[in-house]
Amino acid sequence: MDLQNMIYLVVGFTFCIYMGIAILARAGSTGEFYVAGKGIHPVANGMATAADWMSAASFISMAGLIAFIGYDASAYLMGWTGGYVLLALLLAPYLRKFGKFTVPEFIGDRFYSNGARIVAVICLLVASITYVIGQMKGVGVAFSRFLEIEFEAGVMVGMAIVFVYAVLGGMKGITYTQIAQYVILIFAYTVPAVFISLQLTGNPLPQLGLGAEMANADGLYLLDKLDATLKDLGFAAFTEQKGSDINLLLLTLSLMIGTAGLPHVIIRFFTVPGVKEARSSAGWALVFIAILYTTAPAVGAMAMFNLLKTVQPEITQVAGTTQTHANKVQSLAVADKPQWFSTWETTGLLQVEDKNADGQIQYYNDNNPEFSHTAAQQGWQGNELTKVDRDIMVLANPEIAQLPNWVIALVAAGGIAAALSTAAGLLLAISSAISHDLLKRTFTPNISEKAELNAGRIAMACAILIAGYLGINPPGFAAQVVALAFGLAAASIFPALMMGIFSKRINNYGATAGMLAGLTITLLYIFAYKGFFFVPGSELFANTPDNWWLGISPEAFGAIGALINFIVANLVARLSKQPPAEIANLIESIRTP
């Protein structure tokens, strides 16, 4: 069977599974719609949490960032993994014992204020919609390649599918769908990684293959070979740190505490019967997450190695240069472009331009001043591999390595599963914030259960439309957009949750002021360097390290926003009256095992 038909068969089969589960597990009450009736087994919930957690950013984009950024992308691995541990230990058990299944509900009750609840809803919506934009970017990348359509059309197809199973099934349908999606995505991620590790190093475990000697390379290690190839082309070594220490530290911290503030993950701990099961499901989720996260560095490094080796097989010494690291160019005849190249060019996510019309594709670092001058003397007019979207690397990797068609089709299904599973969880968090926290708990307390359920579905449908529109014009790669969402959650939601659980002194005024301050300053910083997502060209400053304040990237600024949140909340709380005695007793009760 040819590749395209194999993809249709495998992806179509998985979609039938998702749709069937959504229909069979259709929510019939608000309890089933929001928290799956609180009857999910801890192991099953751990698997669903892992699928909810491992989004398009983890499956599609993280290894792509590792491939192109190298060492600096370790912040994503450390931040997202460490953040989940932080969530499981410091927040999940206490929130589960409190008994309120949405973040705004906890904040509204703990800080005895509808105003605090409304601000929490705003923070949740801003962070969650930004997160969904990243998922829609991943959905578009996957569908555009494997349906052989343009990226924009791929986003629209993904929107339609998410609408069917998320809007109909609610949390009950989403949970069982995500269990199936986890099984599919983890096989889709690890199977090609095993194949490629065997090809390059002879080691079947990618985690060990990353640091192993290359097969038939006279004892040369994979990372040494990759470093040497990149430096020969004028790029920094894969294992070299490129950014500043402060930015790497703050990005890791922002991703970590942003993780612990994400509502779509927190709500997962309310789908099990009790606190003991919540702790158990958190442990299982970490096990399931670790399988992918320990594989990602190998996938990224091997994807970059295969790209360099396969796309440009010849490395030619540049005449007139000295033996430096920036004196070689890779060149591929246009007529010899591999098939996978042409396929991805159809999506617009990979582009080649023969600028000097010599019938060759020159690939080198045209930002390297020494090499660019010499290359210009040879008649080259810049890097002719003009665009390689980082989000294609995981999906293209099996094709670059010429793996069997069934492996490529499996990766297609896994990438789509990763993006759709997290999108569904986020949309449910958005839905519950609007229908339950704003309508039921604040503005229309007498609303019927049926009306609340319908309001939740309408809110989810509107969120899909907004996220789809913004996903077509995202402010960066999937992982970068998701990092912005984590920064927003870190600056607004996480401090309020931490102070709500561990500080008896923070009152309603302090919490509200802190959330507003953290969210506002972080949004302003993002808009200054990224612009408004829906207004192209609206950024005030160029988004480069030279222009960042103290060298802090927009993705890392959430940690600064969180610090401002803590400071403002404590100052305002100390200048206003203490919380009522019953609130102190409430805090004491949820902190008692």
241 neighbors 73 (Cβ within 8 angstroms)? no
What would you measure as the largest C-alpha separation in the chain, in angstroms?
81
359 or 319: whose pLDDT is higher? 359
| Residue 521 neighbours by CB under 8 Å, 6+ apart | 491, 560, 561, 564
Average pLDDT, the chain: 81
The pair of three-digit structure tokens given for residue 563, joined into one six-digit string: 């610090």
Residue 217: pLDDT band with limits 50, 70, 90: low
Strands (E), 440-564: none
Selection from 84-98, 315-329, 406-420, 495-509 with the highest mean pLDDT: 495-509
* DSSP 3-state of 329: strand
Count of residues in the chain = 593
pLDDT tens by residue, 5-46: 888 888 888 878 777 776 666 555 555 555 555 667 788 888
Cα separation, 190 vs 357, in Å, equals 41
- Closest Cα partner for 457 from 194, 242, 164? 164
The position carrying tokens 């480069």 is 544
Which phi and psi (to 5°) does residue 362 adopt? -90, 135
pLDDT tens by residue, 159-168: 887 777 666 5
The pair of three-digit structure tokens given for residue 105, joined into one six-digit string: 């509900």
289 neighbors 107 (Cβ within 8 angstroms)? no
pLDDT tens by residue, 246-287: 999 999 999 999 887 776 777 777 777 777 777 788 788 888
Residue 323: pLDDT band with limits 50, 70, 90: very low
Q: Which of these ranges, 305-314, 341-350, 517-526, has the smallest mean pLDDT?
A: 305-314
Find the mean pLDDT for residues 156-183.
72
- Beta bridge pairs of residue 362: 331
Q: pTM score > 0.75 for this model? A: yes
| Residue 554 neighbours by CB under 8 Å, 6+ apart | 484, 487, 525, 526, 529, 530, 543, 548
Find the mean pLDDT for residues 92-96.
79
The pair of three-digit structure tokens given for residue 161, joined into one six-digit string: 């599918």
Fold of the domain spanning 3-303+398-479: Hydantoin permease (1.10.4160)
The pair of three-digit structure tokens given for residue 177, joined into one six-digit string: 């769908």
Cα separation, 514 vs 508, in Å, equals 10
Single-letter amino acid, residue 300: G
Cα separation, 508 vs 505, in Å, equals 10
Identify the pLDDT of residue 495: 95
- Closest Cα partner for 428 from 404, 398, 459? 459
- Closest Cα partner for 413 from 2, 13, 4? 13
Cα separation, 9 vs 14, in Å, equals 9
282 neighbors 514 (Cβ within 8 angstroms)? no
Angle made by CA atoms 196, 202, 206, in degrees to the nearest 5: 50
Cα separation, 521 vs 227, in Å, equals 39
Single-letter amino acid, residue 460: M
pLDDT tens by residue, 339-381: 788 788 887 888 888 888 877 777 777 777 766 666 777 777 7
Domain regions of the chain by residue span = 3-303+398-479, 311-391
pLDDT tens by residue, 463-509: 888 878 877 777 666 677 888 889 999 999 999 999 999 999 999 99
Listing from the earlier edge strand, what are the strands of the sheet with 328-333?
A: 314-317, 328-333, 360-363
Cα separation, 376 vs 321, in Å, equals 12
171 neighbors 33 (Cβ within 8 angstroms)? yes
Distances (CA, A) of 500 to 339, 400, 432, 510, 570: 56, 50, 21, 11, 12
pLDDT tens by residue, 105-152: 889 889 998 899 999 989 988 888 888 887 777 777 777 777 777 888
218 or 8: whose pLDDT is higher? 8
- Closest Cα partner for 76 from 88, 65, 86? 65
The pair of three-digit structure tokens given for residue 328, joined into one six-digit string: 């070689």
327 or 270: whose pLDDT is higher? 270
223 or 261: whose pLDDT is higher? 223
Distances (CA, A) of 226 to 136, 217, 330: 32, 12, 14
